[in-house]
Amino acid sequence: MKNVLVTGGKGQLATCIKDIVKDNLDNNCNFIYVDIDELDITKAGKVNTFFKNNNITHCINCAAYTAVDDAESNESLVEAVNVTGAKNLAIACSDSGAILIQISTDFVFNGKQTSFYDEEDLENPLGVYGLTKLNGEKAVFKYLKENFIIRTSWLYSEYNHNFLKTMLRLGRERDKLGVVCDQIGTPTYASDLAIIIVKVIMEENLPYGIYHYSNEGVASWYDFAKAIFEESKIQVDLSPIKSEAYPTPAERPKFSVLDKSKIKKELKLEIPYWRDSLKKCILKINDND
């Protein structure tokens, strides 16, 4: 029996994992979803006890402090969740022989290069969020030599708070909007990522290490917003603006497109184009309205 612990159990990625596995796995897999109320991953003793009591064989760490701007003024809390939490899970996995899948981010890069970022490129985060996620990766490697780290980018879904949900709300509230056009990356549908995470769990021979995953294609935040409004048939006067016109506490990478060659080769994947996945997500939102 595989007992799979999913932290950050109320977040959008964990919820998408729940959707993926409920109808697609046999009885040999038991998924256990926990949020901070059930398990505070910053508490080492509680983590170790939970692993032992539930005979955990796999752990998907979706728990993270992801509010990029707020992170700049809450460094100790961000460090506790993104670094100490990852460390505690890695130690518990090492002690119990469990497999850890740590979810990370494109924000570990500074966005200064113009080619796609692969797993061997030098990390150099710009802010507290990216730095703590990188240090979380390092903690995992320090305490658990054999692990999976999956970096992703611009995650959205029909669940919780994300850029898609914000644009849908603002598009209905306002006649005009300005969205930055000089930050380039790839929107990633959390449901597509959830499918990959489940594949990693079920795959017996996948080499351990760092993998990059996002949807295919390249977009700016302006492109992403424009596609959202087009697919949702929302009429709004959308203007492209430069980052300097919309100052934020945290600096964002200007270019953070991830190279997915490694994960495509190892899992023999065909990754959906970002706009095709966006269309699927918006259809789900409309069906639920």
Residues annotated as catalytic are: 129
**Sheet holding 99-105: strands in order across?**
29-33, 2-7, 58-61, 99-105, 148-152, 209-212
CA separation for the pair 215, 235 (Å, rounded):
26
Neighbours of 273 (CB within 10 A): 12
CA dihedral of 260, 262, 263, 267, whole degrees rounded to 10: 140
Q: What angle do CA 174, 177, 180 make, to 5 degrees?
A: 155
103 and 137 Cβ atoms separated by less than 8 Å: no
176 and 237 Cβ atoms separated by less than 8 Å: yes
77 and 118 Cβ atoms separated by less than 8 Å: no
CA separation for the pair 101, 165 (Å, rounded):
27
